[in-house]
Structure 1
Amino acid sequence: MEQTATFWIAAGAATFFVGMSKGGIPMVAMLGVPILSIFIAPGMAAGLLLPMYILSDVYAIWLFRGQYSARNVAILVPAGLIGVLIAFLVVSRVPVEATKLIVALIGLTYLADALRKRLAQDFRPRDADIARGLFWGAVSGFTSYISHAGGPPYQAYTLPQKLPKMTFAGTSAIVFACINWAKMPTYVLAGQLTWDSLKLISVLAPVVLFGAWAGYRATRWLPERMFFALINTALGLLCLKLLWEVGVAWL
């Protein structure tokens, strides 16, 4: 891994965006791996960023302490771990493009349903039911393991509940902290996470922590309606980005 000045700038930017996403602004998380993929293989980029995700997860849990949905955590964490295990067992048989396509379709289906309800003036929140939670939690763990794309399934389940913005972000911090910790051993076995990449933590740790703090402050500052409007917009852009990547790979 050639660590030029340009690489360090890109790594710093990617790390900052990872931190911001954990601070409650998930729309910037999509920038991390693409930025680093200019310099290294996408798989290695995902492995390099995993420790940054874990470090910022821990900080985000502290930032959002006491602001989470206990019921959602109880449902989504076990389901997410099951999804990670399934992905580890079948990852060699599932094309990455197929996973990206599934994630994109999940996100776009949710957005279409949300638009339909808005036009019909149906603003009733959904319950955190176990059946849907187990399904979407497992899908989040599965897609997070394969391509760091667990956000859309998680949002498809939690956004219809209309949780307060801080509760939404705090729940996300706990759920994905558990999922990311579970991914660590398997990334090591797959060679995506090496000793050299771990050594970069000492340099980039302040950047990811500052990003998490900045994301947390922005989350507190943004009005509730604007916050979720940005979440939905970012979800749509991420889905279109994934569809573009699938189209380029298959064509």
Structure 2
Amino acid sequence: MITFDLLFFAIAIPAVLFAAISKSGFGSGAAFAASAILALVVPPGPALGIMLPLLMLIDAASLRPYWRKWDAPSACHILIGSLPGVVLGALIYAAVNADSFRLLIGAICIAFVFWQLGRSRGLIRVGNFPFSRHWAWITGLTAGFTSFVSHAGGPPVAVFLLGQNMQKTTYQATTVIVFWAINLMKFVPYLFLGIFNAQTALADLFLAPFAIAGTFLGVRAHHYVSDRVFFGLTYVLLLATGTRLLWQALS
């Protein structure tokens, strides 16, 4: 049950703006924070259902600025691997309850923060390596699964693409086309699993203008805002959100 009160909009509007800016300007690695934030005020299933159409809208609005700037071999082989990952995510989703998803999403939030902090301090190194179809398939499988259950496919894709030492815009464009396609794959299973309903559709109507506005802000921020500034705020937000979700799930 979704209650469209002041608290819902106070949480949902910043979450959607954040997701749009992250996806369209910073490689989408932390866009899953929006679903985690929404899961603080609505059950995880409806949170995922609200965010998927909005993420698809952000993807569509992001395609034009980055059109044909992606790395085609990486995108193609990640998507080949992502299809079985989406199927696996659908099977898992059908078998677990809401608190299990709060636990999973909270753990992903905190793990993402510690992985990024370790990388920034040199404790975790993503070395350069040549393109490999097999690693692309594994990346796609992981991204398809984590994207289905929590819209958190960004981190595994980021690890794979960063290892190829891509130029910033090529990296961004590759994430845009990859997640545009993965989100399309997820739509039909979400429909059959009942993740979408009339309330999530109404929420999407209210929040769609903020998704579009955030996309345009993100495209501009891609050229003018430091990654360090943006992700510094992201880590604080994800750590607080992940801790809260874990507390809700375990209590």
* Deviation sequence 1:121-155 (CA, Å, 0-9, x none): xx963222111111011101101111111111111
**Kindly tell me: are residues 127 and 245 of structure 1, through their superposed partners in 2, closer, same or farther at Cα, counting changes over 3 Å?**
farther
Partners of 1:68 and 1:127 in 2: how far apart? Answer: 16
Please tell me whether the aligned partners of residues 80 and 179 of structure 1 are also in contact (alpha carbons under 8 angstroms).
yes
* Partner Cα separation in structure 2 for residue 235 and residue 170 of structure 1: 23
Residue 69 of structure 1 aligns with which residue?
Answer: 71
Q: Report the residue type matching 2:227 in the other structure.
A: F
Secondary structure at the aligned position of 1:59 is classed as helix
Instruction: Output the CA distance in 2 between the equivalents of 1:50 and 1:73.
Output: 20
Q: Answer whether contact 1:27 1:235 (CA < 8 A) is retained.
A: no
Query: Greater CA deviation, 10-19 or 229-238?
Result: 229-238
Go from structure 1 to structure 2 and tell me whether the alpha carbon gap of 1:57 and 1:10 turns closer, same or farther (over 3 Å shift): same
The answer as to 2:65 corresponding to 1:60 is no
CA distance in structure 2 between the aligned counterparts of 1:100 and 1:18, rounded to whole angstroms = 17
Q: Residues 19-30 of structure 1 correspond to what in structure 2 (within 5 A)?
A: 19-25=20-26, 26=28, 29-30=31-32
Q: Please say which of residues 231-240 and 160-169 is displaced more in the overlay.
A: 231-240
Distance 2:77 2:117 in 1: 23
More displaced 10-residue stretch of structure 1: 181-190 or 24-33 = 24-33
TM-score by length of 1: 0.80
Distance 1:231 1:125, change over 3 A: farther
Change (3 A) 1:219 1:33: same
Distance 1:197 1:99, change over 3 A: closer
- What is the Cα deviation at residue 37 of structure 1? 2.6
The answer (yes or no) to whether the contact 1:125–1:160 under 8 Å persists in 2 is yes
- 1:12 is aligned to 13
% same residue: 25
Instruction: Please give the root-mean-square deviation of Cα atoms over the aligned residues, in Å.
Output: 3.2
* Match status 1:197 vs 2:200: yes
Q: Matches of 1:30 and 1:242 in 2, distance apart?
A: 11
- The alpha carbon displacement at 1:71 in A equals 1.2
1:137 aligns with 2:145: no
SS of match in other structure, 2:144: helix
Q: TM-score, normalised by structure 2?
A: 0.80
SS of the residue corresponding to residue 170 of structure 2 reads helix
Q: How many pairs align? A: 244
| 1:166 equivalent among 163, 166, 169 | 169
Residues 141, 160 of structure 1: CA spacing in aligned structure 2 closer, same or farther, 3 A cutoff? Answer: same
Show CA shifts across 1:43-99 (max 9, x none). 211111110000111111112112211111111111112210122133345654467
